[in-house]
Chain A
Amino acid sequence: MGLPLFRAQDDPGPSFFHFAEIAGLTAPNSPSDLSSPHATTVIAVRYDHGVVMVGDRQATSNYIASRDVRKIEAADRFTALAISGTAARGMEFIRMAQLSFEHYEKMTDTALSLEGKANYLSPIIQRNNLSSPLVVLPLLAGWDLSHHVGRIFEYDGAGGCYERFDFSTIGSGSPFAESTLRLGYHADLELDGALDLGALAIYEAGDNDPSTGGPDFVRNIYPMMVTISADGFQELTQEDVANRFRVINERRTQSGGVAGGSLR
């Protein structure tokens, strides 16, 4: 690539996505419906001082393609981005989002607002999903530095962006995760409660949906759990995550595999 200089009227501004399109760095969309691995089930729950995100680790095509995929990434210090849908497109999408937020910051010497980041992703999702069967659906959660509150943004297949004030789920295990969250969520949820509820939601999804991986005690692979708060993006240690899932598993073993009439 040569030095990308533009005249004022052709300048793509601080948007990396628009620059990448002009410079031909993005892959052209094709209508090929090649079967490729899918990544599934991530949830986000708001609690009193931020957002908790939990995601399973499995990528599935006709078989289990991978058991240790990381579907939640820090898009920047105060923003987490999770993906569902086609894994390849999802990974590219995360890379594009991470780079775009950093690019904007370097070009303008100011960080994008959380709402700005959420809206920025809409046309990128729209462009991908409306021109290719390799659909990708992200979930954005972040700490809003100007309003001091954790916020969740979900998208529909056409790129529509909607803020959720309680919780959100993406991926094929959504119905099970969503039901769990609906029953367990309340407005004054604290961090620990939100983490346990999020873990239970992914446990249910892994238990019922063949494309979602639950805790893997044999290989020591557990769903990924992160918090986004005033301290930024933080991932729970594997030990902490393992313990939370062990507790759920123990309860479930005692009740013979059913929730036992209540959320447990």
Chain B
Amino acid sequence: MTNYFYVAPEQLIRDRAEFAQKGIARGRSIVAAIYDAGIVMVAENPSASLNKISEVYDRIAFAGVGKYNEFDRLREAGIRWADGTGFTYSRGDVDARALANFYAQHLGDMFTEGQKPLEVEILVAQLANHVRPTKLYRIAYEGTIVDEPRFAVLGGDAETIKARFAASEDSFEPLIVTLKNAIAALAGPERTIEVSDLEVGILEDRGNRRTFLRLSDEQVSELLR
């Protein structure tokens, strides 16, 4: 005969949160920041092909930390949602806030009802146009959604990295400056990160419909020089 033990709901939530946090803390972090002409996302990622940062739509990007298969599935769902919405209505009707809300609901559902909570933390970034504002929506494993005003840090060591970045930058700077600050904040005082271990993507108006650009190692080195 199986014995069922009573577990207080508070305890259950704490256990689940701890489980998710542990999973997320195992991976490397991401800094996303608004600069004077766009948004830059910097991830520490030794893999050149398993991306953490991705284009979603003309002015929307995605970043995720934690378990790769889990956030990559969310990334794919986001691209499908955006392309499907744009196909049904128009390209201008695709809004990052709606997508961020769907992500938050799904993560919330998985946290309370799933077999296990998703071990991910994700970011939906939107570059402003004449009708929508520039936004950084950070969504945590349990579905909490935060609208970050200037920059967002995802991942295990978020508080420390956040403090370092906040100390280095208090207004919107050019890309070169923000990129350097973001990398320094990720690395910390004792460490330098090789350019080959960085994944960098930007959202910036360059006269095209699609504003996302993945920066190559050469482009990053050039900017850091």
Contacts and interface: CB of A to CB of B under 8 A. Distances in A.
Interface of A: 1-6, 11, 16, 19-20, 23, 25, 95-96, 99, 102-103, 106-107, 109
Interface of B: 49, 51, 54-56, 73-74, 76-81, 83-88, 102-103, 105-106, 210, 214
Nearest to B208: A77
Contact of A106 (B74, B79, B88): B79
The DSSP consensus for interface residues of chain B is helix
A23 B84 contact: yes
Given A1-B81, A25-B87, 12 more contacts: A3-B78, A3-B103, A4-B77, A5-B77, A5-B106, A19-B83, A96-B87, A99-B87, A103-B79, A103-B80, A106-B79, A109-B54
A25 B88 contact: yes
A11 B83 CA distance: 16
A96 to B, nearest CB: 8
A3 B84 contact: no
Contacts of A2: 102
Contacts of A20: 84, 87
Contacts of B210: 102
A25 B79 contact: no
Contacts of B49: 109
A5 B54 CA distance: 17
Contact of B81 (A4, A6, A96, A106): A4
Contacts of A99: 83, 86-87
B113 to A, nearest CB: 14
A72 to B, nearest CB: 18
Contacts of A107: 76, 79
A25 B106 CA distance: 22
A85 B74 CA distance: 39
